[in-house]
Chains A and B, each alone.
Chain A
Amino acid sequence: MALLIWILQNFWSLLVLSFATLVGLRIAYRFRKYGATRAELSHILRRSPFYLVVLIFCFFAAAPFMIMFLHSFKVDGDLYRRPQPFIYRQDPTLEHLESLFTNTAYLDFIRNSVVVGVAVVIITLILALPAAYALARLTGRWGERAGILMFLVYLVPPTLLFIPMFRIVVMLGLKDSPLALIVVYPSFTVPFSMWLLQGFFKAVPPELEEAALVDGYNRVEAFLRVVLPLSLPGIISTIVFTFTLTLHEFIYALVFITNTSRRTLSVGVPTELILGDVYFWQPLLAAALIIAIPVGFAYNLFLDSLVQGFTMGAVKG
């Protein structure tokens, strides 16, 4: 506890210090490896403007998260006093974090979101994998048209659809249940994933499947044994993308579910932590940050294949 408070109070100096240490270590490592020659020194000098620019962009990208992190631990007095202190004036506190987990249904929100997300991902894959494969291999005019038609579905905004969708959900008796979201979310995740997967499948040469056909397999086996393993990076990035789509969906989740403990993160957090015009900033920021970190990691891991998927779809139409 004392350690945490010390870290928070010295956050900026620690940040600068750790960065300087890293740079120092790198320079020391290169000195050891190549010797402190003039060439080495001039190399460091030449590269330094580049790293400076990178550093500035890193700061831009990371600043919101750092501010979220710092504010989560501030007492009210510190947060609302003007001018905003750069760092803590009063001791940081854990009470807001505690209240997020004890006074709100935050854990329920996470559980609901994960359940809905995983279920939607599974449904999406079951529907989108064969559909995308069919579209990728149906090279005639109809395949392309069908693909564009299905993508158009994705462009119809939920704000237009939530009232009719609500009627359907009530008719199915799914109101106030996460099942409602599991049923409705594939309406936008399937077209999108299909589009993404189609690009990955098109990148697999058809000759490989034909080879599998001649080697003694039927088309389904050829798909499972050759096409799927080859487009695995694409499939994983589609999973990540579909999951985030369900994670930040707001309007369906807001309308279909009114029972607090059955809500998902995207609705639960703002409705619980914003009462009228009172914003409970510290738990709000903490709630957002906690969920953003794993998603951010997942994105970073699959960033390359994600970008590849989008551009492949773009080039091949």
Chain B
Amino acid sequence: MSLVELQGIKKFFDDVRAVDGIELEIENGEFLVILGPSGCGKTTLMRMIAGLEKPTAGQIFIGGEDVTALPPRKRGVSMVFQSYALYPHMNVFNNIAFPLKAQSREKKYDKRAIRDKVENTARLLEIDMLLDRRPRQLSGGQRQRVAIARAMVTQPAVLLLDEPLSNLDAKLRANARDELKEFQRSSNITAVFVTHDQIEAMGLGDRIVVMSHGKIQQIGTPQLIYDDPANEFVATFLGSPSMNILRSDAFSFGFRPENFLPKTLADNPENSRIFHYYVKRVEYLGSDRLLYGYVHGHDNELTLAKVPSNVRVSLDVDCDYEFAVHNSDIKFFDKQSGQRIEEQNLQGVV
């Protein structure tokens, strides 16, 4: 039995299908990332798990219990909001103690127990010296830790995080990502993390759920999703620069720019497909060279190649080269639905 189970969850706002039939199981202790472009319904999905939105249809189970009709306070979940939503009129201590005080009505914590719990959680997140401050006196990173501490202090069954890193500057973000993952691993809490940032998703997630237009496109480990995308959307959404997609009369096919290399560099030329590649422009990115150009026979479809800089091959603008892609790195998609299909014959297409 998985910890959280979503069955046929739908949410319509008037005519807009924000979430359209989600089936999802979240295992105990896993770090699940919901990834998708803005407006794909990922935040709405999380708010329904929290109980802040009511699904139009479907059922939500947490710990085997049907919580679809229960208010947030009876679900045993905690949430870290994008804006952190710290209470500005309370100091850090009272912010973290706030959910404990609510629980205390049933579990009867005395003042001391509350103080101990708050201080322990604060020490864990290294904010124990900030307990007397007000939220507005804290930096972005400190606020984020207070928000996590407030969500963690009651030891919830599920921790929901709604893009908690997006308000931090880039330098801080990498650091916070690392700490968050470490913290989740050591406390062994089940976390659901919503983001539109694929680097965050790949770095944090045990499993990633890719969403688009209110539907799940693919569920899997970061590697599976990257190497074996279920459809054209997942293939192009992940990866930077994104996968090259070329179309033929019967189907489309794609390959990642980093797998698109000069023929002389291909480690296994017999099993590779050779393309005639015209280079239009070269960008030098330090560790890589990014080439913009066209594959012969596909003059309207901009194709990118990412060649490591330490490879001493001269690649000049306005020249034709032979480039190779390993056969297993070419993915085929249905032209209408965009779904993955089995390998097709590329003879005569390029």
Residues of chain A touching chain B, judged by Cβ–Cβ distance below 8 Å, are 205, 207-208, 210-218, 221, 226, 229-230
Q: Among the listed B73, B103, B150, B154, which residue makes an inter-chain contact with A213, where contact means beta carbons less than 8 Å apart?
A: B73
B150 touches A230 (CB 8 A): no
Q: Are A216 and B87 in contact (CB under 8 A)?
A: no
Of A205, A214, A229, A230, the contact of B72 (CB 8 Å cutoff):
A214
In contact, B87 and A211 (Cβ under 8 angstroms): yes
Q: Which of A210, A218, A226 contacts B87 (CB 8 A)?
A: A226
Contacts known (A213-B52, A214-B78, A216-B73); A205 close to B102, Cβ less than 8 A: no
Q: Bound complex: CA of A205 vs CA of B83, how far in Å?
A: 10
B150 touches A215 (CB 8 A): yes
Residue contact B85 to A205, C-beta cutoff 8 Å: yes
Residues from chain A with Cβ under 8 Å of B87 in the complex: 208, 211-212, 226
Give the interface size class of chain B.
20 to 34
Mark each residue of chain B from 45 to 83: 1 if its CB lies under 8 Å from any CB of chain A, else 0: 000001110000000000000000001110001110111
Residues in B lying within 8 Å of A, measured CB to CB = 50-52, 71-73, 77-79, 81-83, 85, 87-89, 98-99, 102-103, 150, 154
Are the C-beta atoms of B79 and A217 separated by less than 8 Å? Answer: no
Check B77 against A207 for contact (C-beta < 8 Å): no
- For B77, the chain A residues whose CB sits under 8 A away are 214
Q: Smallest Cβ distance from A28 to chain B, in angstroms?
A: 37
Question: Closest CB of chain B to A212's CB: distance in Å?
Answer: 7
A218:B99 contact, CB within 8 angstroms: no
Nearest CB to that of B52 among chain A residues? A210
Q: Is the CB of B52 within 8 A of A215?
A: no
Min distance, Cβ B75 to any Cβ of chain A, angstroms = 8
**A230–B136 Cα gap in the complex (Å)?**
14
Q: Which residue of B lies closest to A228 (CB)?
A: B89
Question: Are A230 and B88 touching (Cβ within 8 A)?
Answer: yes
Contact of B102 among A216, A229, A230 (CB under 8 A): A216
Report A-chain residues with C-beta under 8 Å of the C-beta of B88: 230
Question: Which residues of the other chain, B, contact A216 by a CB distance below 8 angstroms?
Answer: 73, 99, 102-103, 154
**Cα(A88)–Cα(B73), bound, Å:** 72
Which residue of the partner chain B has the closest CB to A216?
B102
Contact B89 A215 (CB under 8 A): no
Contacts of B103 in A (CB 8 A): 216
Shortest Cβ distance from residue B216 to the other chain A in the assembled complex, whole angstroms: 24
Of all chain B residues, the one with the shortest Cβ separation from A219 is B71
- Identity of the chain A residue whose Cβ is nearest the Cβ of B90 in the assembled complex: A229
Residues of chain B within 8 A (CB-CB) of A217 are: 73, 102
Complex CA–CA separation, A212 to B95 (angstroms): 10
Q: Which A residues are CB-close (under 8 A) to B50? A: 214
Inter-chain contact B98/A214, CB cutoff 8 Å: no
Knowing A213-B52, A214-B52 touch, does A208 contact B73 (C-beta < 8 A)?
Answer: no
Inside 8 A of B79's CB, which chain A residues have their CB? 210-211, 214
B105: nearest chain-A partner, CB-CB: A216
Determine the chain B residues whose CB is within 8 A of the CB of A212 once the complex forms: 87, 98
Q: Which residue of B lies closest to A221 (CB)?
A: B102
11 A–B contacts, CB within 8 A, in A order? A210-B72, A210-B81, A214-B51, A214-B77, A215-B78, A215-B99, A215-B102, A216-B103, A216-B154, A218-B73, A230-B88
The complex places the Cα of A207 from the Cα of B87 at a distance, in Å, of 10
Q: Could you say which residues of chain B place their CB within 8 Å of the CB of A205?
A: 83, 85
Contact (Cβ within 8 A) A207 B98: no
B89 touches A230 (CB 8 A): yes
Besides A211-B79, A226-B87, 4 new A-B residue pairs in contact (Cβ under 8 A), listed by A number: A207-B81, A207-B85, A213-B71, A229-B89
Contact partners of B150 in chain A: CB under 8 A: 211, 215
